[in-house]
């Protein structure tokens, strides 16, 4: 599956956007598909931090354990799935721009089994879900969240 990328400009300073996104438990507030998200390791986020996402996607409940592989606050966090339905990796990148902060998220996945059969639909769903998630994130942060 080709890399799926979504981007939006949020009218908020980069530090505020980073702080909100760095708290993984906020994922369920702006992502309709995320049922639960939590860190599995103690302490502040850093390279090697492990986390758990439980999501519902295309009618399937998926549990993904991941690990932070690169971390450069407040600009970039990269992750990879270490125990997930299929191999995946992704990143969140922030950039200060006129009018606020550009947030870009990407996911690169290699679906197998049921998901391989549904790859074209999966790609379309990932793209539209990513756009919807960033739109909701923008609404939350611009409303003072």
pLDDT range class, residue 110, cuts 50, 70, 90: confident
Which CATH code for domain 4-142?
3.30.530.20
**What are the φ/ψ torsions at residue 125 (nearest 5 degrees)?**
-65, -45
The share of the chain scoring above pLDDT 70, in percent, equals 89
pTM: 0.88
Tens digit of each residue's pLDDT (9 = 90 or more) over 18-68: 999 999 999 999 999 999 999 999 999 999 999 999 988 767 788 999 999
Residue 59's pLDDT is 76
Residue 2's pLDDT is 66
Residue 118's contacts (CB-CB under 8 Å, 6 or more residues apart) are: 58, 111
CA dist 32 and 134 (Å) reads 11
Residue 113's pLDDT is 59
- What is the chain's mean pLDDT, rounded? 90
- Closest by CA to 67, choosing from 54, 76, 77, is 77
Domain map (residue ranges) of the chain: 4-142
Between helices 119-142 and 14-22, what is the axis angle to 10°? 120
């Amino acid at each position: 599956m080709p890399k799926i990328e979504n981007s939006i400009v949020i009218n908020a300073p980069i530090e505020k956007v980073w702080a909100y996104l760095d708290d993984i438990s906020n994922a369920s507030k702006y992502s309709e598909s995320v049922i639960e998200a939590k860190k599995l390791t103690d302490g502040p986020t850093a390279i090697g931090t492990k986390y758990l996402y439980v999501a519902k996607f295309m009618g399937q409940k998926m549990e993904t354990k991941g690990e932070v592989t690169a971390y450069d606050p407040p600009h970039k966090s990269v992750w990879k799935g270490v125990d997930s339905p299929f191999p995946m990796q992704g990143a969140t990148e922030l950039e200060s721009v006129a009018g606020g902060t550009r947030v870009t998220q990407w996911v690169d996945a290699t679906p197998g089994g049921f998901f391989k059969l549904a790859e074209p639909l999966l790609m379309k769903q990932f793209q539209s879900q990513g756009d919807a998630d960033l739109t909701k994130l923008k609404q939350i942060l611009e409303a003072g969240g």
